[in-house]
Structure 1
Amino acid sequence: MHRILSTLAVALLSASAALAVPPSALDLPQIGEPADNTLSPTQEKQLGSRVMAQLYAGGYILEDPEITDYISTMGWKLAAASSTAPPPLTFFVVNDRRINAFALPGGFIGFNAGLLLAADHESEVAGVMGHELAHVTQRHIARTAEDTEVANVATWLAVIAAIIAGSADPDVVIGALSLGQTLSYQRQVSYTRAHEQEADRIGILTMSKAGYDPDSMASFFQKLEQQSRLYGGGIPEILRTHPLNTNRVAEARARAAEMPAVKRVDPVEFGLMRARTRVLSAERPSIAVDHFAGKLGAGQDDAEIRYGLALALAELGQYARAKDTLDPLVEKYPKQVNVQLLAGQLQMWTGDSAGGLATLERMIRLYPRYAPAILAYAEGLMAARRPEDARQVLLSHEQALGVQLQTYSLLAQAARESGNMAEASYQMASYLFLRGDAGNALAQLDAGLRLPDLDAKQRARLLAKRKEVRDSLPSNWRPPGERGRAT
């Protein structure tokens, strides 16, 4: 997996060709720039969606509502401070311990789990995020396509398909991007520097406006570079896809020095989500238990360590021990939503269903638009065999950063457990379609349309969704079981 992602990042961002201009001339692109003539925003979205579908299909995305919401909230905070309005953005975490981040066409920004684990402060994550956001707002991929004369979506889809196939041969990647044209090494390097300088400059300004420490971007990259020299083990992937040199770090530090100094205390959520990422990305929960238990035994008794140990123990099924470990945090942070959500779940898993539901319901009252709280309470209601109540919770609560994919999956489950199979087909199709799996979404809708007791309203709803899904597929698309048959 890491080879696919690193190759993808190199091919789409860092090794791509853009504007060959000196740093002093770099500025925000003008509306109606030539890139629109080659790759429109709609086409970029199509490309990014294709890549996301591949990542979902491969099980590479860490689909955890709390981590995703944390990253997305930070991302939108930075986007609000950006001088250039971004397109609709999707932030996601890749279940990969290698340290990397990358932007895809169409506003999809990915962060490896390893990036969160390597950061010592929230501003370091924000620095990388600001850099990647600049790649998106400056439309570097569209500018790459314009400069290299990659002229249509079909071509780019072929390029991305080849990249996702996992070729580790740089010549194949460069050949795919250039489409048979000759790209000299020096030209490639100079364009890479132009992209990275522009992303650094804009990213540092954005993170400063958003209230993060602007010096953290350069210091984080430099820290990783020093670690790779001291401890060996190869260069971190993020340094391969975002090449460093002394001048670039110095320029970034100089820009940061011109901005207001920020003395920032990290919120408790940063440590909690770092711990959560460590547990959920571990090869085995026992590895995470050993890590956090060792820290706690050495006297490092803080929120991150206790929360991480409790979550890891829960992943092992040791619910009573997990609850005992978390109890001091439950008392210390009565309104901290991540701590209380885990507490409510542990209450339910240790047999106190009523107490657990009460804790989860309290969180949804305190944070009515926080998607992870909505999902956790709905899951609790379904575990208590109250699917219709779960469905009402999901439908009646607006989610602050947009409806999460898990909402549709839970709605499908609630409908199925309530015996409403038409609704279950519709919601599961919505879930699959939004994940980029239009073929299986279509199969779900066809199964729903074959139900014997459909009323006219249900049939019309399923048919409308079927048309939407089918229109997204090529006209000659056929289900896998029918491919290769004689017509």
Structure 2
Amino acid sequence: MRKTLLSLGIATLAFVAAIAQAQQAPIDLPDLGNPADLAISPKEEEEISRQVAAELYYFNYVLEDVEVGEYLNTLGWRLAAFGTEKPPEFRFFMIADPRINAFALPGGYIGMNAGLILAAGTESEVASVMAHEQAHVTQRHAARGQDQGEVETIATWLAVLAAIIAGSANPNVVIGALSLGQGINYNRQVSYTRTNEYEADRVGIRTLAAAGFDPNGMAGFFAKLEQQTRLYGNRLPEILLTHPVNTTRIAEASARAAQYQKREVKNSIDFDLMRARIRVLMSETPSEIGAYFEGELNGGKVTAENQYGLAMALAAQGRYEEADAAIAPLVKANLKSASVPILEARILIGSERTGQGLALLKKTLDALPRHPPTILAYAEALINAGEPAEARRVLLSHEQALGTRIETYRLLSSAAKAQGNIAEAQYQQGVYHYERGDIRSALQQLNAGLRVAGISTADRSRLSAKRQEILEEIPKDQLRRLQRE
């Protein structure tokens, strides 16, 4: 699986791939008579998602930015609250890929490509993709796409998912990887997915409208994808080349949207700022992206998005005085987004005004005590300022961050290391790797902690308990392989 992902690169499982599969055909919803559990259980779906997500983290395909992640979580759970089914434990993450793609894994893991956010013209368009992907999960399309006995093991599903998620170059490689699945008929998979897409459209548009977004967002994005398809050229997998986006799919989405009250929906300030943030994070050189934002502003596009992007790009270059001037209009505007004071604080700290920066972060945290990006930004600033004990207190006293943000464990490890508590640092680093799905590294960190000289009885018990908990979750065949290695 790792070889497949590494050689082909991350691409898509659902939205763009399946949009391209739509044909001129009437809606034919799947037969709900056979329970999806006959093919694959929810527990197995969760295991599939966990293992695939681990591969994404392993190859650094995930854009691990706390503020971007928080935006996706906020958007995702807002939609989930208005879904037609009880939502699973969704996990949302940004994929560091400039192409316009998104995918849903069976079990609640939803990935959105950075390129999709940048290509969307409105927040409702992004929300339409998210609602569509959530429908794939809640309607259990992955499980319903298989008859009992066709997919017998999680390993088989992993091979199939790796092939579908990966790949932008050689369609023969994708089809070859699909053949690893036991008895899976490739053509039948393509055909069945088409009906899933119509159902995901229907459920997604309903969710979109109920959550207060523009229900026309989906049709608008369909039309945009139709225009974008030609840009992919020969890099597109064969399945997309033979099933392009068509006007029937767009018309169908428009007709469904017309059933709901028409509304004008403005983009949130966080949508605008995160677009700028993603653009900077995805750029190869801060100077080039800085020049882009400067050009936009000089061209008359004086927006919060461009001002924030320029300030962030300048700060990344160490040009803090210029960054301070760039962000000043946003500070004066008193926008309702914590991303502005967080960036302002980082600029202050970078320009050796650490006390002012820490004070601003504390003020922001006092106003938003349950906001993970502010919690983590303040804790990291405290560690860098030589106050690891206070950083640890901040992390442990704000429940919202614990257990919900992987970055929390990395910072707890850094704080413990700065305090000289190596056993604690190894424990938290082990949990960090475990939450990312990297079992091998997690066990290595925990084992290293157990070998620390002079380790206390409490630390030894804690490390041993976590180690045993992880070992008991590993299937026996994988455990034997790990032990050999």
Q: Same fold (TM over 0.5)?
A: yes
The code of the aligned residue for 2:212 comes to G
Contact 1:15–1:192 under 8 Å retained in 2: no
Contact 2:93–2:111 under 8 Å retained in 1: yes
Q: Matched residues in 1 for 2:196 and 2:460: separation?
A: 51
Equivalent in 7, 10, 13 of residue 5 of structure 1: 10
1:14: how far off?
3.7
Match for residue 340 of structure 1?
A: 341
- Gap change, CA 1:153 and 1:227, over 3 Å in 2: closer
The code of the aligned residue for 1:23 comes to I
Q: Matched residues in 2 for 1:2 and 1:201: separation?
A: 35
Contact 1:340–1:360 under 8 Å retained in 2: yes
Q: Matched residues in 2 for 1:208 and 1:432: separation?
A: 38
1:388 counterpart = 2:393: no
Q: Mean Cα displacement is larger for which, 75-84 or 261-270?
A: 261-270
The code of the aligned residue for 1:234 comes to G
Match for residue 85 of structure 2?
A: 84
1:461 counterpart = 2:462: yes
Q: Deviations over 1:280-313 (max 9, x none)?
A: 0112212211110101111221211110000011
Match for residue 415 of structure 2?
A: 414
Match for residue 3 of structure 2?
A: none
Q: Deviations over 1:363-416 (max 9, x none)?
A: 111111110000000011111100000000000002279521000000000001
- Gap change, CA 1:66 and 1:464, over 3 Å in 2: same
Q: Deviations over 1:138-170 (max 9, x none)?
A: 111111233681122232234445667869544
1:183 counterpart = 2:188: no
Q: Deviations over 1:183-240 (max 9, x none)?
A: 374x4443222011011000000010000000010111202312445xx553997994
Contact 1:39–1:146 under 8 Å retained in 2: no
Q: Matched residues in 1 for 2:263 and 2:185: separation?
A: 43
Q: For structure 2, which runs of at least 5 residues remain unmatched after alignment?
A: 1-5
Q: Matched residues in 2 for 1:182 and 1:37: separation?
A: 16
Match for residue 46 of structure 1?
A: 47
- Gap change, CA 1:317 and 1:405, over 3 Å in 2: same
Q: Matched residues in 2 for 1:142 and 1:228: separation?
A: 29
Q: Mean Cα displacement is larger for which, 402-411 or 236-245?
A: 236-245
Q: Matched residues in 2 for 1:236 and 1:216: separation?
A: 27
Contact 1:428–1:444 under 8 Å retained in 2: yes
The code of the aligned residue for 1:9 comes to L
- Gap change, CA 1:391 and 1:91, over 3 Å in 2: same
Contact 1:78–1:130 under 8 Å retained in 2: yes
Contact 2:358–2:378 under 8 Å retained in 1: yes
Q: Matched residues in 2 for 1:424 and 1:401: separation?
A: 16
Q: Secondary structure at the match of 2:143?
A: helix
Q: Secondary structure at the match of 2:92?
A: strand
Contact 2:39–2:151 under 8 Å retained in 1: yes
Q: Matched residues in 1 for 2:293 and 2:99: separation?
A: 20
Match for residue 470 of structure 1?
A: 471
Match for residue 271 of structure 2?
A: 270
Q: Matched residues in 2 for 1:363 and 1:371: separation?
A: 12
Q: Secondary structure at the match of 1:289?
A: helix
1:16: how far off?
13
Contact 2:151–2:183 under 8 Å retained in 1: no
The code of the aligned residue for 1:103 comes to A
How many residues align? The count is 473
1:349 counterpart = 2:378: no
Q: For structure 1, which runs of at least 5 residues remain unmatched after alignment?
A: none
Match for residue 438 of structure 1?
A: 439
Q: Deviations over 1:315-363 (max 9, x none)?
A: 1121221111111211112653111110011111111111101110111
Match for residue 36 of structure 1?
A: 37
Q: Mean Cα displacement is larger for which, 233-242 or 278-287?
A: 233-242
Match for residue 233 of structure 2?
A: 234
Matches within 5 A, 1:72-471: 72-146=73-147, 149-160=150-161, 169-174=170-175, 176-177=177-178, 179=181, 181=183, 183=185, 185=187, 187-228=188-229, 232=231, 234=233, 240=240, 244-333=245-334, 336-399=337-400, 403-471=404-472
Q: Secondary structure at the match of 1:145?
A: coil
Q: Secondary structure at the match of 2:81?
A: helix
Kindly report the root-mean-square deviation, in angstroms, between the aligned alpha carbons of the 2 structures: 3.0
The code of the aligned residue for 2:9 comes to I
Q: Deviations over 1:9-67 (max 9, x none)?
A: 269984999xxx9626558x57xx53212211111111111111111111111000101
Contact 1:214–1:256 under 8 Å retained in 2: yes
Q: Secondary structure at the match of 2:104?
A: strand
